[in-house]
Amino acid sequence: MSTLEEVSHYINGEKVKGENDKYGYVYSPSNGQKIATVPYASDEEVDGAIQLAKKAAAKWAKTSVGKRVEVLFKFRQLLVENTEELARVLGKENGKTIPDAKGEVSRGIESVDLAIGAPQILKGEHSVNVGGDINAYSMKQPLGVVTCISPFNFPVMVPLAMSVMAVAVGNAMILKPSEKVPHSALLISELWEKAGLPAGIWNVVNGDKDTVNAIITHKDIQAISFVGSTKIAEMIHETGTKHHKRVNAFGGGKNHMVIMPDADLDKAVDSFLGAAYGSASQRCMAISVAMPVGKETAAVFTDKLKEKVKNLRAGSYEDETADFGAVISAEAKQGILDAIDDAVNEGANIVVDGRNPDVENKEGFYLGATLLDNITPDMNMYKEEVFGPARPIIEVGSIDEAINLINDHQYGNGVAVFTNSGRDARRFTQEIEVGMVGVNVPIPIPVGYHNFGGWKDSRFGEGQMFGPDTARFFTKTKTVSERWFELDDSDETNFNFPTS
């Protein structure tokens, strides 16, 4: 190995050096430089971590929910106190600007807020004398050892959203962060330790696809939560369920923004800018395509939009004047450039060309904001998710055409409609086949106490991320029928099926 920093795993309350000879490099997108090596855990390392987690889980499950929540309160405070440091670590290895990174940390804390309410969420049902002096009640119990496999684009928010409730309801966690952004997970690990979480309940195992396969097929992993590309999400779901795991796997999206003729176009343009190009468009809920309704709406919207897109600036995560940072890797940058070239070859027109941005560090993985029109539904630029700052405009003739096109698309993650018509908004929200809908809200990511989840090829499995469904996903329900005999009860054998 080189003299670069060597990233550790975090297992059973300690940083653990990787034992496998497989490793990858961590880059800083802002300057393109290698900053660390990250170990890829072997099957044996994965098994060792899971066995320690299993032992810890048995004790944690018997810890009162009140005691667990005490740890969560401390953890929340530590997240608040360390927001600046988290944001800087996140920005360095992910590339997003510091203000954007701080916003991510804040949204992640919402998941802790929800999990602090675990005592309320875990309450079961109770019925007195359902028949024959029998009381019936239910209880929610943890699954044991569960895993979360998180993406590069939200190194703090997504791991927190996926894992904190799992810990709160009594499970032990194996987190496999993206190998591109391992430092954020290790800093979160340190905060859990300071908060008093027992060793073995929160573990970080770094690795590649072989490590992932070792985790999701392991006999002691009970549930899998995944966020990433649709192709991998589908594979995770198929493999996990084949091995009898509970799985929720969140994939990609093509999030439309429909602009009706009666919309406030200035507000729509401003909303599109931040929602489409923020975080260098590397958000699964980023607006992917503008869909103005009618030629006049399209002409005015495009004219207003292009002038503002021209002024957007890409820059280092430390650049306070930058609107967004670099994309995650050189490979990602090339993939976005290829998508733009393909669109042009298919007949698209570049309204704003951001392929050669004016940036200080040419070695960074930078792309400027690109805007394309003359897009048709059969083009790959419209059909496929482009995870970078290249955004198409596709004009439609009516709200019916917009709804039909969106409903025909393979993805159903998020969608937004901008309108001043309550009638059109109500119709749109009722008829659209998408999991998360915004009305004059460009990025309809639910707050932490509402459920998050797309439809169609944007999600595989039935679990949610965020919201009360997270607790249901990470627990199993047991129903008890209980009767206590009086001392003078006579013994009678009854062969009839029991009824009330």
Please state at what angle helix 157-168 crosses helix 65-81, rounded to 10 degrees. 160
Spatial distance between the Cα atoms of 192 and 79, rounded to a whole number of angstroms: 9
Spatial distance between the Cα atoms of 278 and 327, rounded to a whole number of angstroms: 11
User: From the centroid of its chain, how far is CA 436?
Assistant: 13
- What count of other Cβ atoms lies within 10 Å of the Cβ of residue 124? 13
Q: Which residues touch 254 (CB under 8 Å, ≥6 apart)?
A: 288, 289, 382, 383, 384, 385, 409, 410, 411, 413
Q: Give the CA distances from residue 375 to residues 122, 302, 335, 381, in Å, rounded to whole numbers and listed in that order.
A: 49, 13, 19, 8
* Active site annotation includes 148: no
Spatial distance between the Cα atoms of 114 and 160, rounded to a whole number of angstroms: 11
Q: What are phi and psi of 100, to 5 degrees?
A: -65, -40
State both tokens at 454.
């797309």
| SS3 at position 145 | strand
User: From the centroid of its chain, how far is CA 204?
Assistant: 17
Q: Which of 49, 78, 275, 284 is catalytic?
A: 284
DSSP string, 437-497: EEES-SS-PPPTTS-B--EETTEESS--BSSTHHHHHTEEEEEEEE----TTPPP----SP
Burial of 312 (0-12, 13-18, 19+ CB in 10 A): buried
| SS3 at position 86 | helix
State both tokens at 77.
């405070």
Nearest to 319 by CA among 26, 31, 85: 31
User: From the centroid of its chain, how far is CA 145?
Assistant: 20
With the C-alpha atoms ordered 370, 302, 382, 151, is the resulting torsion angle positive or negative? positive
Strand partners, 38: 24
**Triad 303, 304, 309: Cα angle to 5°:** 100
Spatial distance between the Cα atoms of 182 and 224, rounded to a whole number of angstroms: 19
State both tokens at 115.
């999990």
Catalytic residues: 284
